[in-house]
Structure 1
Amino acid sequence: MTDLFQLAAYEAARRIRNGELSAYALMRACLERIEAVDPQIQAWAFLDPEHALAMAAEADARQRDGAACGPLHGVPVAIKDIIDTEDMPTQCGSPIFAARQPLEDAACVAALRAAGAVIIGKSVTTELASLTPGKTRNPRDLERTPGGSSSGSAAAVASGMVPLALGTQTAGSVIRPASFCGIFGFKPTLGFISRTGVLMQSHTLDTVGVYGRSLQDIALIAECLSGWDGRDEVSYRRAQQNLLAPLEQDFAQPPRLAFWRTPAWPLAEPATHDAFAELVEELGEHCRTIELPAACDALPTHQGIIQSAENAAWYGDIYDRYSDSLSPAMRERLAKGMQEGARSYLEALTARARLYRHMAEVFERFDAVICPAAPGPAPKGLETTGNPIFNALWTYLGVPAVTLPLMEIDGMPVGVQLVGPRRDEAHLLRTANWLVKHLSA
């Protein structure tokens, strides 16, 4: 029983479905793990153990009564504290929203509950999902950042407090914390998961993502969250994707990977350069180093302009009314965004389609692009959450990305990031599964 907190979500769901495990026992194991390790890690913004246990007991009662069980029945999930929950406060990492209680669940939380998941609590976010760190520490080294802005979600999964968690990404807020904490993180195509009920800071960039302990976990929860929502302007209609089944299918021919250093390469640490040189060499004929047109060098800059301008627009009322309650760094960030010119903003928006065509040509020849998930291991100190430079360009392009905990440098994890074409999550995760198996063979 004491090891139940280590179960991956996919295995936990299977055991609960087969009657080998109760949701209550799993929740109790997670809460005991939280009690043991969270005083040091501080991953939670809100946690009510009695409520969590009561919800788990209800899940067990429904199963005993013969009610249909969804694919996540009885599995605990942590929710980033910018995502609305009708039974728990959503405080957005800011005193401005202290004790704020939403009246209804965000669409993604409602989808999780419909799939049978049990919401265990709200995980720490940076201030307004931006750059000012929260209280969470990296489980692998308490003196290092866990990354941000989905700090608590990544740390909670990495430390065994919960098998699954939701995060969001506007630049690198899902992929970077996964890299720093040594877990699987997945940011799907823009619009794959509804953002209704999620704090908005950039309507053309914000993306809901997920954390898990395996690719099966990632596929399981992402499949449950996928769906069209007419209330979200970037949501798109499509048939329900099956993300789990492709993981079990072998490739007739091994996938082809393109290693692109990206415009962020000069900012990577020397040890990261060396590690990826070794990785490319190990992959041999399965990986080819590519170059892209010089115009692609502007990808991170375009993302930064859009995020800055849209952030200032969405948070403008907060800035005007509650400036004294914002951190100095947040005030400075919003003031800078208000100075972004219309020309530079529109140029950044309109360049996206043109620059994506260069990537689409790559994806016609390769199954995925491989690159670092971060410049290196999690930085020491808790004053920043690290540089999102290796993620921001992919968020700007709206493509799916997954980070795999396949590397360590000086004893700390560094994620291997795989990126695929828009709306092809299943193939990207299948390719990622091949890579994990290939490197483990």
Structure 2
Amino acid sequence: MDATQLNWLSASDAARAIRDGAISSEQLVEACLARVREADGAVQAWAHLDPEHALTQARARDRDRSEGQPTGPLHGVPVGLKDIIDTLDYPTEDGTVLHAGRTPVHDATVVAMLRAAGAVVLGKTVTTECAYYAPGKTRNPHNPEHTPGGSSSGSAAAVAAGMVPLALGSQTNGSTIRPASFCGIYGFKPTHGLVPRGGMLQLSRTLDHVGLFARTLEDLALLGEQIVGHDPRDPDTRVRARPAFVSLAAEEPPLPPLLAFVKTPAWERAADDLKEGFVELVAALGVRVVEIELPESARQAWDWQRTIMEAEMAANFAAEWERGRDKLSPQLRSLLERGREARAYDYQAALARIASLNEGFAEIFERCDAILTPSAPGTAPKGLDSTGDPAFCTLWTLCGMPAVSLPLMKGENGLPMGVQLVGPRSADARLLRTARWLAAQVQAG
């Protein structure tokens, strides 16, 4: 096995190779760090990186294995973490000068879970300011003149550029699915409340999700299986059996899935090449797709999501507003101003709509296995002053449904375009199984 190419191994293959003694964690981490040295000058995916600390972790994992200590499913595999996820051994600055130098005293719950699974924390990846819209320094690995998306820009770019096989991000609107689409990798937003958020920057309790990035669906399943659980710090989690993501996602569906093609009102904003790509995809899938129109009530969901996000972010960033509003970007300052003026009636009314929306979608899922829709309006926009339009993610985030972006298309400019699948709440493993089926159909032509 060529040691200089180990950074391109999937996490699943790397974990197996380490477990079998074919490679060491130190070799894998060193290959990833070499790729960082080679590529990150152009991509700029990392906010905090300590190569020696990463290698020290890897050597400890190798020592544990050589001594016959228990090993986890991610033993020795490096992972990148969005810089809104607390880490005991790295700063967590949330992409804002107001949190510069912040050093947590505890790991976030998901970080503790990853360490228990044997993972190596390679470093912290760039986030937009407070995981909102103001871009960070990261560039798209496919073309540095284009945005990587946001807010989980560094995590998506680092995985796409081969610097790390796995990374975590977050999604409050489109912050995982959109950058996965723009960077040409797999992105996964699990069901709301499935993955704990304790120790992460909170924007909106109602809307915040942990996001996963990988270069294969198998890796998404492997990563997801390690971080499901209850967390007393996250009131939206509950004690439940851990889903068998890896085994179920690898199974063949008992019947060929039926997909509901849902354009949503955002279809009007889609680029021509994306529309053409979906016309071809739907035609190729034939009887396995039915087009479904959203009910008129669902068309207001984008306004409801905005109301909830603005009100909850205004409350959660009250301290930043009081001590440093002049240091916030105009985008974030404007959002917080609107949130501080939101009416309690409008906020509560928007919250109440989520349950009725999910009831409506339950009828679709009684017939169809998943919803088929774009991940973003097109390829990554040129320019670095915006992270792109999250409109194709908003509805599913509001409803808390699991969603996955698959890198199955390219635009006329050669950049990636993602295909999004959305499933019913708490059916995450089955959604990954359906995604695997869809990827196989496309690859088979």
TM-score (norm 1): 0.99
Aligned counterparts, 1:139-150, within 5 A: 139-150=141-152
Does residue 348 in structure 1 map to residue 347 in structure 2? Answer: no
Amino acid corresponding to residue 200 of structure 1 in structure 2? Q
Tell me the distance in 2 between the aligned counterparts of 1:324 and 1:15: 51
Q: Secondary structure at the match of 2:194?
A: coil
Does residue 8 in structure 1 map to residue 10 in structure 2? Answer: yes
Amino acid corresponding to residue 414 of structure 1 in structure 2? M
Aligned counterparts, 1:33-432, within 5 A: 33-410=35-412, 411-432=414-435
Residues 187-227 of structure 1, C-alpha deviations (whole Å, 9 max, x = no match): 00001111000000101110001100100000000000011
Tell me the distance in 1 between the aligned counterparts of 2:254 and 2:170: 35
Tell me the distance in 1 between the aligned counterparts of 2:360 and 2:65: 50
Amino acid corresponding to residue 417 of structure 2 in structure 1? V
Q: Secondary structure at the match of 2:372?
A: strand
Residues 223-275 of structure 1, C-alpha deviations (whole Å, 9 max, x = no match): 00011112211112211110111133222320110101012111111221111
Amino acid corresponding to residue 6 of structure 2 in structure 1? L
Please say if residues 282 and 289 of structure 2, whose CA atoms lie closer than 8 Å, have aligned partners that are also in contact.
yes
Instruction: Tell me what 2:440 maps to.
Output: 437
Tell me the distance in 2 between the aligned counterparts of 1:215 and 1:6: 15
Tell me the distance in 1 between the aligned counterparts of 2:9 and 2:161: 12
Amino acid corresponding to residue 189 of structure 1 in structure 2? T
Q: Secondary structure at the match of 2:265?
A: coil
Please say if residues 218 and 250 of structure 2, whose CA atoms lie closer than 8 Å, have aligned partners that are also in contact.
no
Shift of 1:403: 0.3
Tell me the distance in 1 between the aligned counterparts of 2:221 and 2:41: 31
Please say if residues 310 and 335 of structure 2, whose CA atoms lie closer than 8 Å, have aligned partners that are also in contact.
yes
Tell me the distance in 2 between the aligned counterparts of 1:40 and 1:231: 38
Quote the RMSD (CA, aligned, Å).
0.8
Aligned counterparts, 1:22-33, within 5 A: 22-33=24-35
Please say if residues 147 and 380 of structure 2, whose CA atoms lie closer than 8 Å, have aligned partners that are also in contact.
yes
Shift of 1:362: 0.5
More displaced, 191-200 or 294-303?
294-303
Amino acid corresponding to residue 51 of structure 2 in structure 1? P
Tell me the distance in 1 between the aligned counterparts of 2:205 and 2:242: 24
Tell me the distance in 1 between the aligned counterparts of 2:119 and 2:46: 18
Tell me the distance in 1 between the aligned counterparts of 2:291 and 2:367: 13
Tell me the distance in 2 between the aligned counterparts of 1:245 and 1:272: 33
Tell me the distance in 1 between the aligned counterparts of 2:264 and 2:309: 20
Tell me the distance in 2 between the aligned counterparts of 1:259 and 1:71: 36
Amino acid corresponding to residue 433 of structure 1 in structure 2? R
Tell me the distance in 2 between the aligned counterparts of 1:336 and 1:168: 23
Q: Secondary structure at the match of 2:325?
A: helix
Residues 325-381 of structure 1, C-alpha deviations (whole Å, 9 max, x = no match): 212222122112212211211111001101111111101100000000000000000
Amino acid corresponding to residue 427 of structure 1 in structure 2? R
Q: Secondary structure at the match of 1:244?
A: helix
Q: Secondary structure at the match of 2:245?
A: coil
Q: Which runs of 5+ in 2 are unaligned?
A: none
Q: Secondary structure at the match of 2:202?
A: coil
Give the 4+ runs in structure 1 shifted more than 2 A. Answer: none
Q: Secondary structure at the match of 1:386?
A: coil
TM-score (norm 2): 0.98
Q: Percent identity?
A: 52
Please say if residues 292 and 358 of structure 1, whose CA atoms lie closer than 8 Å, have aligned partners that are also in contact.
no
Shift of 1:324: 2.2
Tell me the distance in 1 between the aligned counterparts of 2:45 and 2:250: 33
Tell me the distance in 2 between the aligned counterparts of 1:230 and 1:197: 11
More displaced, 231-240 or 373-382?
231-240
Q: Secondary structure at the match of 1:128?
A: helix
Residues 399-428 of structure 1, C-alpha deviations (whole Å, 9 max, x = no match): 000000000012011100000000011110
Amino acid corresponding to residue 146 of structure 1 in structure 2? P
Tell me the distance in 1 between the aligned counterparts of 2:169 and 2:304: 23
Tell me the distance in 1 between the aligned counterparts of 2:89 and 2:221: 26
Amino acid corresponding to residue 434 of structure 2 in structure 1? T
Amino acid corresponding to residue 287 of structure 1 in structure 2? V
Q: Which runs of 5+ in 1 are unaligned?
A: none
Amino acid corresponding to residue 190 of structure 1 in structure 2? H
Shift of 1:116: 0.2
Q: Secondary structure at the match of 1:3?
A: helix
Tell me the distance in 1 between the aligned counterparts of 2:236 and 2:36: 36
Tell me the distance in 2 between the aligned counterparts of 1:313 and 1:231: 18
